[in-house]
Each structure stands twice: as structure tokens, then as C-alpha cells.
Structure 1
Amino acid sequence: MDAPAQPDDSRFGLNRRITLPQPLMLDGGTSLDNVEIAYETYGTLNAERSNAVLVCHATSGDQFVASQHPITGKPGWWSRSVGPGKPIDTDRHFVVCANVLGSCMGSTGPASLASDGQPYALRFPVITIRDMVRAQIALLDLLGIERLHAVVGGSMGGMQALSLAAHWPGRVDRVMVIAATAAMPAQNIAFQEVGRQAIMADPNWQGGNYYGTGTAPDSGLAVARMAAHITYLSEESMHEKFGRRLQDRASKTFGFDADFQVESYLRHQGASFTGRFDANSYLYITKAMSYFDLAEDHGGRLAEVFAGTKSRFCLVSFDSDWLYPTRESRKIAHALNAAGAPVSFVELSAPYGHDSFLLDVPELDRVIAGFVG
């Protein structure tokens, strides 16, 4: 069953968007009225409503997990894993993927209009990962889905999966967490702060009030994306892709152009990102990740977070991922074991770094298919 489509005047021309009927209470002590959630679904919800799989996206992801992106025209960001006959098989499962609260692909965020008809900008409240999940739970309620067959997420999506399992334990049977952490490590917070400062140092940021001015902090957002993208790759993959090879030239320019292929690649990544993402959304989403600490309310005792859980868990890490290394997944596995929860854990070998969960890793396909079923 699907929710009725609502009119969509978004500049992105999104397909499905629904307004939550009740104010959304937030961890920061405030609430948001008229919250809109943009989402996509794939497959058919069965009569028992027991075959729903929630897929949670990463930092700069969106709801177009297995369908063409309306701006870039590229295939869905996880088309290799979601679809008919694929590891998350839409011939068997009803897949839901929602754009997170605070983002810019149709869900309510800083670019959305507040009650006064003006964009929220920095009036938008600072949110948490749990707030994002709280909005997704409200969406599931509207779709008539009381319990998920599975929730699956990589990176920030894995944090959402953990938060759902911890705070709404009766809502999900299987929890798959890929390349994620239960608490944001200090080094990662540092990288995210560099990105936020790059945006806020751009004169075109204008204190966050750049909407409708004809300019935006594209330079700062591009630098933020460049810095983040470095963390998504491994040294091995960067060496294999680029080495010290020059870009379209026979010799160095002795200037500040992009002499090296890796420099040109990062500039392209930064520039293309500004065409599909909002700078203020980047600030809010990365801050939510920096705040993430699942055991914070339990005195740092992660096992207590999952006490009494009935869900099954599968944790996946990659040996080349230095952003969320295997030790972070092991911490979660040990906590789940201590809580008596059924958990499986695997470290996969892949050369791509943190981005491995999005790329061609056949063994990951097998793990997903085996666990989601």
C-alpha cells in the first residue's frame, strides 16, 4: 500500500512526498510543524504487511536508491543491490527509502519554507540521527507498516539503522549495518568540522541566508566535499586510480592549476556536488553525525542500549575503510553479544575504502542477500 501522492512544487521535481499530520518532536527540545518527507518505494507490500525493507541513505544520498536521479540522470545510488532478483529483491520485498530530515531532495530542511513563507535557513533546528529516524517511523506509520522485515544502511545509513533498532526495538526483525559506527570518532568529527568551516568561510554563505540572492557558497561546499571525498577512498584505490599521473599535460605547469589527475578528480567531485546539494543541509547533516553517540544516554555502556532486543543483527566492515574501521563494527558486535542479541559480523576485503559498500564487492552482495532473505 502506498500513501496518496501530494502536489510537489519542489525545484527537483520529486515523485513522492507526504506531510506528517503531527508536529515532529526533536531531541533538541523543539518541534517542527508540517514536516514533509520525500520517499521512493519499490516492489509491492504484501497483504500481511510483513515484507517491508527500509533502506537508509548516507550523508549526501537520497531516496533514489534504485531509480534514476532527477538532477544528475544517473542510476540510483544502490541500483546494484536493490531491484528484481538483486540482493534486496523487490520481487519479494517492498523497499522504502526516504530522504532524511534536514536534507534537500524534498524532505523538510533548511531550504524549506517556514510558516512565514521564507526559507528556514539557520532558523531550522539542529537535528540528530534519531530525529531523522523519528521522521522515518512517522512515514512508516502513514504507510501502514507496523514492523519492518529489515532495515539496511551503510555509513550514516548504518547509524540510522542502529538508532531505529535501539529506540524502536519492536519495529524491526533484521538490522543490517554496513561500514558504520555507534559513536562518531573524534577524527571524523574533525573532518566534518573542516567541511563546515569551509562553507561558513565562503562570503556567499551570507550567514546562511543565501536563498533567493542569486549566489550560494558553492566554493565552500565544493571544498567541503573534496575533503570528505578523500576520506571515502583508500590509499590503495587512490594510487591505483591516479598515482602521480598528470592531467592532460606532458609536464608540470609550475602554477596552481590541477596538474595531477587526483587534483582534477577532486575538483570535479566538488563542483558536481554543488549542483545537487544544499550547503546548509550539509551543515545540518554532518552536525547530526558529529552528535551521534548511541550509548550517550546509558553512561557509555553500549550493551545497555540493546538490552532485551528481539532483532537479529548483521554487521559488515571493510579492511580498507579507515573512516569507519573494523574496530568500530567490532565494538557494536561485542555490545550486542553482551546484550544477548543474535549477531553476525564479517570484515570483507575490498580495495575501495569506505565507499566499498556502494561499489562492486560481490561478497557484500552475497552477505546482503543471505541476511535480508
Structure 2
Amino acid sequence: MLDTTGTLHKVDIGEFITEAGATIPNVTIAYQAWGTFHGNNLIVVEHALTGDSNVVDWWDGVVGPGKALDTDKYCVLCTNALGGCMGSTGPTSLAPDGNHWGSRFPALSIRDLVAAEKQFLDKVGVTQILAVLGGSMGGARTLEWTLLYPQLVNAALVLAVSARASAWQIGIQTAQISAIEQDPDWQGGDYYRTEATPHNGLAAARRIAHLTYRGELEIDERFGTTVQPGENPLGPYRDPHQRFAVQSYLDYQGVKLTERFDAGTYVTLTEAMNRHDIGRGRGGLNKALAASQVPTMIAGVDTDILYPYHQQEHLSRNLGNLLAMAKISSPVGHDAFLVECRQVSRIIRHFLTMADANGTDANMYFI
């Protein structure tokens, strides 16, 4: 049974076999849930790359009593993805030999994250999901839910993601992985039993990533060529301690992530994003999309650099059961699905109205 008090719980789902054939014994999935579970009112929220199960924290403007994801009406559930570092089994976890998995932890795909979550839901007795929704990596997981387990899902909302990883996305994400792997403290991924951690590499990866999460206009309007107070990046010789304001901002974002996230997890889940391709083994992207029968709503951000809006348009043109299409207008870029809570809440309310009606208002488009 689900505990819906918001308490973090860890559930043993047993052995898990990955899409590529690797076996992970004794897998644990962490979750949190809010609201009262009635059996047919469950909403599953899928977190993004560095998110966790505490959705009321990272999406606080969207989840809660009277909000778009109304915990007085719905039971809202969020798990920490397989491979994560917030309670679920991942590289930081202990393997059967008593040592950390580290570099021995198997590579994962988005399908693996969803299959493990399905195994978790089976364990706690969930047999029907009113809606699945998520953005970025969470959007990729949502798409896979509609294709792997359509019989369980009444409706889906996919935010700010594509049908597969583009070459550009794989390139920029591989650069982040490389930044971590080049840190001497990475130690091939087996730093867990040492006093050193690859904080510098993880911070560098985050700086690269953050530039894809935010919009170019927003970054320029906020910082331009302003120098960091008390520093001078215009001196006669380059000095890494003399920075423009935007460099200081990115340094801060990098350090902030190292304080709450694990480098091995970052590599594992970024690699899963590189492997994202709903057309693999299904006859290609458009054939896979056309076969989708779960009523699905698509939303994107007009200034998204990481997952440009044309990728969501591609989804909307080819899905077999498109519920609606929406655009978030914001200078923020990719992160707008997390920070533009008013627009996102409006989209979710429309979506849930249609989901509650079992898709009877399909093809009700709005921008």
C-alpha cells in the first residue's frame, strides 16, 4: 500500500534486468506521495535529470491543496528514478559484495527507468494510473510509459522533450560526462570509498548544462558584459579569479549541484538520456508515435535551446492519439517548465479536465 503522507519511503522491488540484459539484484525504489489514494485518482510525476521524489519542493507552485496538481482531489506520486542518488538504487548504493556499485553499475536507458517504476507500482499494488506527466528526462519517461504500458495509463502530459535524443543533445550531454570523467578524483567512477569526490568535474558539467537550461536572451539581459563586483576580467593578463558576472553565476550553479547530487548518478542518468529513442525496435519514430493510443498532451517552451519547440511539434504531428498541444512562452528557456508555474498550471488544469473526461475532448488544441 502507498503511504500518502509525503514521507520518503524505500521499497524493495527485487531483481531488475535492464533493456541491455544486465542484472541488478535487490533494487530499491524511493518514493513520496501526497493526497488520498482512491484507486483511480493517481497522478505519477516524473522528475528531470537532477530531480528527486520530493515534487512538492521542486514544483511547489504546481503541487498541493488547491493547486493544479490538487492533493485534495488527486493522489500525487513521485519516485526517485532507478540510478538516482536520493534513495533509489544507483552507483552510490552498495552492491551484494558490500562495496559501492560505482563503475560496476549497469548502463541504463529511459525504458529501464520506466520498467523499474512499473515493477515498483506492481509491488505496492497500483493497477491504474489516471495520468503520467513530466518534463525533460521526466517527459522522456512519460513518453515511454505510453508505449510500454498503455493499458495502465489513462492520459499523459509530455513537457519539453523530444521523441529521441538528437545528435546535438548527445554531443552536449557527452561533453558533460567528459568533464566529470576528466576530473582526477573521478577515479574511473570508483571514488566512493575514498575521501575524494569529483566535485570539480560535476560543477563543470553543470555549468555546461545550465547554459542549455536557460534562454540566451534571459542570460544576456541579466548579465550582459557586467563584471563580478570586486573583480576585473579586463586586466592585462587572464586570471580565472577575475570574472564576468555570468561566470560567477555559473560557478554558483555548479557548486550548488555538488552539494546535493552525485557525479556517478549524473553520468548514469545523462547516459540514459543519450539512449532515449522511442523508435528503437519499434519501426522508427513516426511508426512508434502513430502506434500510441494513450491520449497524450504535448507542451514545449518557445525559447528552449536544449529541446527546441520544433521537437514538440514533431511529436504533436505524429502521435496516434494527440489530446492537445500547448506552448509555454518565456525568456527562461528549457527551465520554464519548472519556473513558469502560472502557465504550466493552466496547461495541467486543461490536461486534467480532459484526462478526467477520458479523452472525450481530444483534439482540443490551444496555444
TM-score, normalization: structure 1? 0.90
Alignment deviations for residues 303-360 of structure 1 (CA, whole Å, 9 cap, x no partner):
3355261x21110011111211111111111121xx3x14211222111000000113
**Which residue matches 2:286?**
302
* C-alpha separation in 2, matches of 1:61 and 1:138: 20
How far 1:242 moved relative to its partner? 1.3
Choose the corresponding residue for 1:161, options 129, 142, 149.
142
Q: CA deviation at 1:301?
A: 3.9
- Structure 1: gaps of 5 or more residues: 6-13, 67-75
Deviation of the 1:250 alpha carbon:
7.1
Residues 1:320 and 2:310 aligned together: no
Alpha-carbon distance in structure 2 between the residues aligned to 1:261 and 1:223: 17
Q: Tell me, yes or no, if structure 1 residue 330 matches structure 2 residue 322.
A: no
Deviations 1:238-261 (A, max 9, x none): 012212112113754622224211
Using a 3 Å threshold, how does the CA distance of structure 1 residues 258 and 317 change in structure 2: closer, same or farther?
A: farther
Residue pair 1:201, 1:220 contacting (<8 A) in 2 also? yes
For 1:73, the equivalent position in structure 2 comes to none
Q: Residue 112 and residue 158 in structure 1: after superposition, are their counterparts in 2 closer, same or farther (change >3 A)?
A: same
> Does the C-alpha gap of structure 1 residues 4 and 342 become closer, same or farther in structure 2, counting only changes over 3 Å?
closer
Partner SS for 1:227: helix
Residues in 1 aligned to 2:123 and 2:191: alpha-carbon distance in whole angstroms: 34
In the TM superposition, 1:338-357 aligns within 5 A as 339=320, 341-357=321-337
Residue 215 of structure 1 aligns with which residue?
Answer: 196
Tell me if 1:182 matches 2:163: yes
Secondary structure at the counterpart of residue 320 of structure 1: coil
Find 1:16's aligned residue among 9, 20, 37.
9
Kindly report which structure 2 residues correspond to 1:117-196, keeping only aligned pairs within 5 A, or say none: 117-196=98-177
Query: Which amino acid counterpart does residue 25 of structure 1 have in structure 2?
Result: I
Q: Summarize deviations over 1:226-283 as a string: whole Å, max 9, x none.
A: 1001100111110122121121137546222242111001001111111111111111
Q: Deviations over 1:46-73 (max 9, x none)?
A: 1xx000000000001111110xxxxxxx
Q: Equivalent residue for 2:28? A: 36
Query: Structure 1 pair 348/34, CA: closer, same or farther in 2 (3 Å)?
Result: same
1:52 counterpart letter in structure 2 = L
Give 1:371 deviation, angstroms. 0.8
CA RMSD of aligned residues (A): 1.7
**What 5-or-longer segments of structure 2 have no aligned partner?**
354-367
CA distance in 1, matches of 2:249, 2:174: 22
Letter in 1 for 2:152: R
User: Number of aligned pairs?
Assistant: 349
For 1:326, give the aligned amino acid: Y
8 A contact 1:57–1:156 mirrored in 2: yes
Q: Could you tell me which of 276, 279, 289 is aligned with 2:263?
A: 279
Paired residues of 1:294 and 1:302 also in contact (CA < 8 A)? no
Which residue matches 2:68? Answer: 87
The equivalent residue for 2:45 is 55
Q: CA deviation at 1:361?
A: 4.6
| Cα distance change on mapping 1:308 and 1:327 into 2, 3 Å | closer
**Structure 1 residues 249 and 308 mapped into 2: Cα distance closer, same or farther (>3 Å)?**
closer
User: Distance between the aligned counterparts of 1:135 and 1:198, measured in 2?
Assistant: 29
TM-score (norm 2): 0.91
Identity of aligned residues (%): 38
Q: Which residue is equivalent to 2:215? A: 234
Cα distance between partner residues in 1 of 2:99 and 2:252: 32
Would you say the 8 A contact 2:278–2:288 is kept in 1? no
CA separation in 2, counterparts of 1:258 and 1:346? 43
Q: CA deviation at 1:298?
A: 2.3
Matched with 1:9 is: none
Deviation, 1:135, is 1.2
Partners in 1 of 2:230 and 2:345 — Cα distance?
Answer: 40
Query: Counterparts of 2:19 and 2:90 in 1: how far apart (Å)?
Result: 16
Match of 1:25 among 17, 25, 32: 17
Shift of 1:23: 1.4
